[in-house]
Chain A
Amino acid sequence: VTHPDPVNLALHALGGLPADDHVQSCPQCRDELARLMRVVEVARQAGPEQLDQPTAHVWDGIAAAVGDSAVPAAAANGHGVLPPGALGQAVPAPDQAGPAHAGSTPSQAGSVPSQAGSVPSQAGSVPSQAGSVPSQAGSAPGQAGSAPGQAGSAPGQAGSVPGRAVSVPGRAVSARGRRRPRRRVVAGLAGLAAGLIIGVGGTAGVIQLTGSPAPRVIAEIRLNPLPQFPQWQGAAGIAVMRATAGQPVIAVTLQAPARPGFYEVWLLARNGVSMISLGDLNAGHTGTFSVPPGTDLRNYSRIDVSLQPFDGSTVHAKDSVVRGSLPPAA
């Protein structure tokens, strides 16, 4: 008996290929297929799942309970913030990640455990301490994560914060924009861990946003580099726009190198000046965004992804990585 290529079984389990006659009649292949399909079913049950990171004092409590026997020197001698610190060192960062490592030294981590443990719910204290970390931490490529203390807010987050409309020459400032520097710094510490997980959810966060497994795709838009930005000629992206019960949702996936700064997604108006910020891509260079209510997509008909420096400015940095146009009907 020649069994089909295992690749075909996998693709069939995902729904991308019809099963052939052999699979139907071969008990071995049928069993294999059923097991693979169960994985797909579990994965798709509720859309992308994301694990929440416990806050640092959870580990502190464990370390205190078991004593020195089980706790490495770094965690036992007062730098009890194992998860963020350890991850920062353990995870090899993408290009140019030196600053991320610098940001995850124990110096700031060491300030946590003194309060941790005694306060039942001090999630807020983690970000605020992290905020005092030297700013270069914020330039880690994995800036998109949520802080450990904010675990659980991640994948839908971008989508739930519809951008404020700003126009390029202006100095538009939004509440969201003002928060940015701290959030970057916080995320710089945790982002390497959390952001990468979000990478899974980001592409597909649309499913969680809408609560239905397969919202209708309105448009699939290729995003291409622009001739006037030769430095981005290797980049590419895709934006998938879907209809939901509420506002249309746009899921963006970017293929581009990790660079200092972060990638931000915009809707550009026909006049080339007005634009709406949809939000930032996560460390996996994906993001899912709700189109702000009232947006006229016939006017704001182009999707642009920019590289933004960590300067706290909310305006487009005029460094466009890729761009694409919505089809007229969308």
Chain B
Amino acid sequence: MPADGTGTLLTDPEVAAAFSKGQPDALALVYQRFGALVYTIALRSLDARADAEDVTQQVFVSAWRSRDSFDPGRGTLGGWLVAITRNKVADVLRERQRQSRVLLQAAGGATMTAPEIPSDQVVDRLVLADELAQLPESQRLVMALAFYSDLTHGQIAKVLRLPLGTVKSHIRRGLQRLRSRLEADGDTP
């Protein structure tokens, strides 16, 4: 099935297999498929473009160097990359905290708040957005209308000129697919 959102013509498991075998162009494939997700999680968590770009680079470089530790049997590549991203983001936040502590001490001392880590909600939402973008176009439109418009499935069928049965099966399969991805790659159990 072609992925007509971000990414490649390969399925996620195919990308993961290429990656864990260390195939020559595998990192490029992985970046094509997951670069936007990693970058956006970092950007929303750090709220600074340069930091998000740094984190994105670190995530993919470190993923490549430690690719032997990725086991496709134990989890998805997307989930593994999201976990690395969270760690790198937490590193940046800790470093920011350290710097502000230094500044605050210099300024006469003050209390510190705990460093934030990327919020689970942010990660979940972006993982979901990423999977939505992978859906074939008509299914994606059906899901978007089902989530965000007030249209009933009957109205969606009319607007998109699809048979009602097609709309229903798009909704059922789409929701199942989003659920699998969210449960595999998202953060909240």
| A7 touching B172, Cβ below 8 Å | yes
Size bin of chain A's contact surface = 35 or more
Chain B residues contacting A62 (CB-CB under 8 Å) are 27, 31, 56-57, 60-61
Min distance, Cβ A321 to any Cβ of chain B, angstroms: 14
Q: Knowing A39-B178, A199-B137 are in contact, say whether A51-B172 is a contact too (CB < 8 A).
A: no
Chain B interface size band reads: 35 or more
Q: Is the CB of B56 within 8 A of A58?
A: yes
> Is the Cβ of B64 less than 8 Å from the Cβ of A14?
no
Q: Chain A: which residue is nearest B38 at the CB level?
A: A54
Residues of chain A in range 152-182 having any CB-CB distance to chain B below 8 Å: 152
Q: Within residues 76 to 134 of chain B, which ones have a CB less than 8 A from any CB in chain A?
A: 121, 124-126, 128-130, 132-133
Docked CA distance A20–B126 (Å): 32
Q: Which of B156-181 contact A (CB under 8 A)?
A: 159-161, 168-169, 171-172, 175-176, 178-179
Kindly identify which residue among B25, B57, B176 contacts A72, using a CB–CB cutoff of 8 Å: B25
Assess whether B171 is in contact with A236, with CB atoms less than 8 Å apart.
no
Give the distance in Å from the alpha carbon of A87 to the alpha carbon of B25 in the complex.
Answer: 15
Whether B175 pairs with A44 at a CB distance below 8 angstroms is no
Q: Are A83 and B148 in contact (CB under 8 A)?
A: no
Cβ–Cβ < 8 Å partners of B186 in chain A: 42
B144→A36 contact, CB < 8 A: no
Q: Does A49 contact B (CB under 8 A)?
A: yes
Q: Which residues of chain B are within 8 angstroms of A48 by Cβ–Cβ distance?
A: 129, 144, 147-148
In the bound complex, how far is the Cα of B39 from the Cα of A193, in angstroms? 16
Asked if A228 lies at the interface with its beta carbon under 8 angstroms from chain B, I say: no
Does A23 touch B at the CB level, under 8 Å? no
Asked if A275 CB lies within 8 Å of chain B CBs, one says no
A317 within 8 A of B: no
- State whether the Cβ of B146 lies closer than 8 Å to any Cβ in chain A: yes
Task: Tell me, yes or no, whether A196 is within 8 Å of chain B by CB.
Answer: yes
Q: Is A38 an interface residue (CB 8 A)?
A: yes
B141 CB-CB contact with A under 8 Å: yes
Are B50 and A87 interface neighbours, CB within 8 A?
no
A52 touches B24 (CB 8 A): no
Q: Are A121 and B50 within 8 A (Cβ)?
A: yes
For the complex, give the distance between the alpha carbons of A59 and B178 in Å: 28
Min CB distance, B90 to chain A, in Å?
A: 20
Q: How far is the CB of A188 from chain B (nearest CB, A)?
A: 16
Chain A min CB distance to B53 (Å): 5
Distance, CA A82 to CA B146, complexed state (A):
33
| Structural contact, B31 and A255, CB atoms closer than 8 A | no
A61 contacts the other chain (CB 8 A):
yes
Q: Which residues of A contact B146 (CB under 8 A)?
A: 14, 16
Residue A253 lies at the interface, judged by CB distance under 8 Å to chain B: yes
Q: Which residues of B contact A70 (CB under 8 A)?
A: 24-28, 64
CB-contact partner of A54 in B39, B61, B182, under 8 A? B39
A102 at the interface (CB under 8 A from B): no
User: Which residues of chain A have C-beta atoms less than 8 A from B64's C-beta?
Assistant: 66, 70
Instruction: Give the residues in chain B near A320, CB-CB below 8 Å.
Output: none
Q: Mark A233-262, 1 if CB is under 8 A from B, else 0.
A: 000111010000000000101010000000
Q: How far is the CB of B126 from chain A (nearest CB, A)?
A: 6
- B49: chain A residues at CB < 8 Å are 121
Contact indicator A200/B144 (Cβ below 8 Å): yes
Known: A83-B32, A196-B4. A53 touches B141 (CB 8 A): no
- Sampled A-B contacts (9; CB under 8 Å): A7-B169, A9-B172, A43-B147, A63-B28, A66-B60, A91-B2, A196-B133, A196-B137, A200-B133
List, in ascending order, chain A residues with CB within 8 A of B36's CB: 51-54, 83, 151
Instruction: Kindly state the separation between the CA atoms of A316 and B121 in the bound complex, as whole angstroms.
Output: 43
Q: Does A69 contact B (CB under 8 A)?
A: yes
Question: Roughly how many angstroms separate A62 CA and B121 CA in the complex, as a whole number?
Answer: 28
- A201: shortest Cβ distance to chain B, in Å? 8
Contact indicator A58/B133 (Cβ below 8 Å): no
Contact check, B153 vs A51: say whether CB atoms are below 8 A apart. no
Is A330 interfacial (CB-CB < 8 Å)? no
